[in-house]
A and B are shown apart, each in its own frame.
Chain A
Amino acid sequence: MRRLVYLVPLTVFLALAIWLAVPLLEGRDPSALPSALIDQAMPSTDLPGIPGRARDASGLTDADLLAGKPILVNVFASWCLPCLAEHPLLMGLSDDGVTIHAINYRDDPADSADWLARHGDPFDRVGLDRDGRAGIDWGVTGVPETFVIDADGRIRYRFAGPLTPAILDRDIRPLLASLDQ
C-alpha cells in the first residue's frame, strides 16, 4: 500500500502528458478554437465606455455592431502582453479604414485608457467589460481574441490569440474583402 503512494507522481504526470498530447496529435492549430457562435447572431451587447479614453468615451452597443458593413471586434486587456504584440497590426488595419470595435476584458478603465494613449488607439468604440460577463456571452477563453462580424451582425470568424501578419493575409483580409461585396 505504501508503495502505491510513490506511483502517484508518475500517474499524475502521464495524465497531464496525454492531455497535452491530444491537441497536438490531432494536428489542430491550437489558436483556431472552433466557436459555437460561428454564423450565429452576435450576442446582445451593451457595455459602458472607458471614461478616460481620449478618442471616444462612449460604450459599445448592438447599434455599433450592426453597422451595415463588416467589422472587427477585438477583445483586449492592458495587462495582456500578447495584446501588445498584435497591437501594431490592429493599428495598421485601422489606418486602412477597417472599423474595429473592442471589448476591454477584465481591466481597470484607467489602465486601459493609459495603455491606449501610450500605444495608439485603433478602436472606434470600446466597451468596458469589468466583470467578464460579456466575455462569457461571446465565449471568450482568453485575451486577445478577434471576431469578424458581417453587415447583418452575424459572427463569421473567430481567432483566439495574438494576430500575426500571416493570419491577417490568409484569413481576415480576404474575408473582409468578400463580405464587403
Chain B
Amino acid sequence: MIPELGHFALILAFVLALVQGTLPLVGAARGEARWMAVANPAAVGQFGLLLLAFLALMYAFVVSDFTVSNVVQNSHSAKPMLYKITGVWGNHEGSMVLWVLILALFGAMVALFGRNLPPTLKARVLGIQGLIGVGFLLFILATSNPFLRVDPPPLDGTDLNPLLQDPGLAFHPPFLYFGYVGFSMAFSFAIAALIEGRVDAAWARWVRPWTLAAWCGLTLGIALGSWWAYYELGWGGWWFWDPVENASLMPWLTGTALLHSAIVVEKRDTLKSWTILLAIVTFGLSLLGTFLVRSGVLTSVHAFAVDPERGIFILVLLILALGGGLALYAIRAPRLQGGGLFAPISREGGLIVNNLLLVTATLTVLVGTLYPLLLDAVGGGLVSVGPPFFNAVFIPLAVPLVAAMGIGPMLAWKRGDLRAALGRLWFAAVVVIVVALGAVWFWAGGPVLAVLGVAMGLWLVASALTEMAERIRLFRIPLVASWQRFTGLPRSAYGLTLAHAGLGIAILGMVGTSVFRAEVIEIMAPGEQIEIAGYVLTFDGVRDVQGPNYISNQGRLVAESDGNQFVLTPEKRWYPIAQMATTEAAIATTWLADIYVALGEPRDDGRWVIRAWHHPLVPWIWVGSVIMVLGGFVSLTDRRLRVGAPRRARIGASVQPAE
C-alpha cells in the first residue's frame, strides 16, 4: 500500500510540474497575474508530494519490504539501519527520486523566500524549474520506477555492494546532488533573464545566493568522495581522475567561474552574456555528468546499472534543456548591452583571467574524460588517458590561476595598479620565498614540483590574509580601530578570505601527501614492532569479529611517539551475501599527518602482512575544503544577499557607483 502511495505521489508531482512549467510562463508572457501566481502553490505542492514519495521509498527500505524490486536488489534484512536508509539513494532509481526532490526543494525555496523578486521573473524562473522537473519525473516514471513490485517476493535481499556500505560514500551523494541540482537555479534564472531580455545588477544579486549554495554543496560532496577514495583505496591516493569524479569536477570549475563573473555583473554591470553562458553551461555539465554515469557510455566504479534506454532518455533531456537554452542564448544574448568599461589590469580583468583559466581547465577535463569515446570513434590511437594526462595538463593551468588568485583581490575595480598591488603583497612574497627556499634546503635534490606546490599553497594563504590585513589597515592604525574595521566588513569579505585560504591549505595537503609520504611493509608476528616516521607500532595480533552482515579479521596495533598513543584496528571484511571482501584501513590523525595501517594477507605460520604509511599534511586537503565551504556559507549570510536587494538595486542599476 505505501509503495503505491509513493508511486501515486510521483505521478501527481509530475502533473503539478506540468502545470508549473506551462501556466506561469504563458501568464508572464501575457501579463496575467493570476496565471503567474499558480507557480507558488505548484512549486510548494510538488515538493510536498516528492517528499511523500521519498519517505515512502525510505519506509520500504527501513522495514525491508521485499515485495519492492528495488529493495530486493539493494538491501538485506541484516544490513545496518544506517545503510538501509542510505541505500535509498545508493541505486539508480532511488537516487533519481532524491534528484527531483532536491530540484523541488529549490523551487519551493524560491516560491517561499523569493518574495522580493519581480513577479514576471519569479514566474519564469519557477516555470523553467517546473519544465526541468517534468523531464526528470517523466524519466523516472517511464524508465526507472522505484516502486516496482516483485511477485513472488524473495525471502531476503541481495544486499548493497559492500564498497558502498561506508559512511563517506553513503553521505556524499546528497551533497553532490544539492550541488548539481542547485545549478539548475542558476540555469532557470539565466533562461528567465534571456526571455525577459534584461540582465542587471539586481539579477546578479538574486542569482548569486543560489549559485553559492549549490557550490557549497558540490564542494562538500567532492571532498567527501575524495576522502572515501583516500581511506578505502589506500596509500594516499585521494583523486583518481575517474570519469565520475571528473563529472563532478567540471560543474565545480564552471560554477566557481560563474560565482566570480556574477560579482562583475553585480558590481560593474558588464560581462553579462558571458555570465549567462556560464550559468547555462554549468547546469549542462551537471546533466552531462548524470548522463555519463547512467548511460554506461563510460565505465566507472560509481556507475549504476547500465541501460542504453535510460541513456537515450537523458540525452534527449540534455538536448532539450541545453540545446534550447543555448539557442535562446544565440538569439537573445547579442542584445544584452555591456555596461562599464575597464582596463585590462583591474579587478574585472583579474576575474576574466580567473574565468578563462577555469573554463580552459574544464575543457581539458572534458576532453580527457570523453577521450576513450573519441578514440573509439576514430579507431584507436596512441595516447592513453589516465592520471598522467590530467596531471600534465591540469597543473600548468593551476599555477597561473593560483598566482592570479593572490593578486586579483588586491586590484581596484575599473582600473587597477598592478605595481601597487604587488607592493602590498611583499609580505606574502617574502613568506613564500623563505619557506620555499627552506623546502629546497630541507629536501635537496627533491622534485621541483614539490617546492612549487608548497609555494603555491602558501602564496594563497598568505595573500588571502594580507588582503584582509590591508582591508582593516592592520598595524597602520591602532589595533582597536583595526578590529572595528574588521567587525564592520561585509560578510562576503570574510568569505573571500576563508575560501581562498582554504584552497591554499588544501593545496598544501595535496602536495604534502604526494611528495613526503613514507611507507613500511612487514610480515609481523604478534608482539613485534615496526617504526615509521618516528612512531613505533606494536602489533597485538588479529581476532575474528562478527559484524551485522559481514565477518571480519580485525588486527590491533598500538602506535606510540613521544607519549602520544593511538590504537589502530585495520580489518579485512567478508560479506557472505554479496560474496565480496573489503579491506578497512585504520587511520590515526594528528592533523599534521595521518598514520595509515592496512591489514594484508595472513601467512601459514600465523604472521600477517602489515602495511603502514605516514601521510604528512593529508588531512589538510579536507580541512581546506571545509574552510572553503565555510567561506561560502559566511558569504551566503551577507547582508546584501538577504535584505532589500530589489529596491537598492533598482536605484543602483542606473547609478551604480564604482566601489
List residues of A whose CB falls within 8 A of some B CB: 2-3, 6-7, 9-10, 13-14, 17, 19-25, 27, 29-31, 33, 36, 52, 54, 77-82, 84-85, 88, 91-92, 105-106, 110-111, 114-115, 117-120, 132, 135-136, 139-143, 160-162
Contact = CB atoms under 8 A, between A and B. Distances in A.
Interface in B360-406: 372-373, 375-377, 380, 382, 384-388
A81 B230 CA distance: 12
Given A79-B241, A79-B387, A85-B163, 4 more contacts: A6-B329, A7-B330, A30-B299, A54-B601
Give the one of B296, B330, B598 with max A CB within 10 A.
B330
Nearest to B291: A20
A88 B386 contact: no
Contacts of B306: 30-31
Identify the 4 closest CB pairs spanning chains A and B, nearest first: A161-B299, A81-B301, A10-B326, A85-B301
Given A21-B315, A88-B581, A136-B382, A82 B300 contact: yes
A146 B395 CA distance: 32
A23 B598 CA distance: 42
12 contacts: A6-B329, A14-B323, A17-B323, A27-B308, A31-B296, A31-B306, A115-B235, A117-B600, A118-B611, A120-B581, A141-B372, A142-B384
B263 to A, nearest CB: 22
Contacts, number: 146
Nearest to B308: A24
A132 B389 CA distance: 12
Contact of A81 (B242, B284, B315): B242
B38 interface: no
A10 B600 contact: no
Nearest to A28: B308
A139 B580 contact: no
Given A6-B333, A114-B234, A162-B301, A17 B601 contact: no
A6 B382 CA distance: 35
A119 B583 contact: yes
B326 A9 contact: yes
Interface in B315-329: 315, 318-319, 322-323, 326-327, 329
B90 to A, nearest CB: 14
A118 B583 contact: yes
B600 A6 contact: no
Contact of B322 (A13, A27, A106): A13
A79 B237 contact: yes
A114 B295 CA distance: 33
A142 B611 contact: no
A173 B411 CA distance: 66
Contacts of B237: 78-79, 111
B334 A2 contact: yes
A24 B315 contact: yes
Given A13-B322, A114-B234, A81 B302 contact: yes
Given A117-B521, A140-B384, A20 B240 contact: no
Give the one of A7, A81, A141 with max B CB within 10 A.
A81
Contacts of B241: 79
Given A27-B308, A84-B233, A106-B386, A141 B319 contact: no
Contacts of A14: 319, 323
A10 B385 contact: no
Contacts of B298: 30
Contacts of B356: none
A117 B611 contact: yes
Nearest to A110: B519
B318 to A, nearest CB: 7
B235 A111 contact: yes
B154 to A, nearest CB: 17
Nearest to A91: B581
A23 B373 contact: yes
B323 to A, nearest CB: 6
Contacts of A52: 521
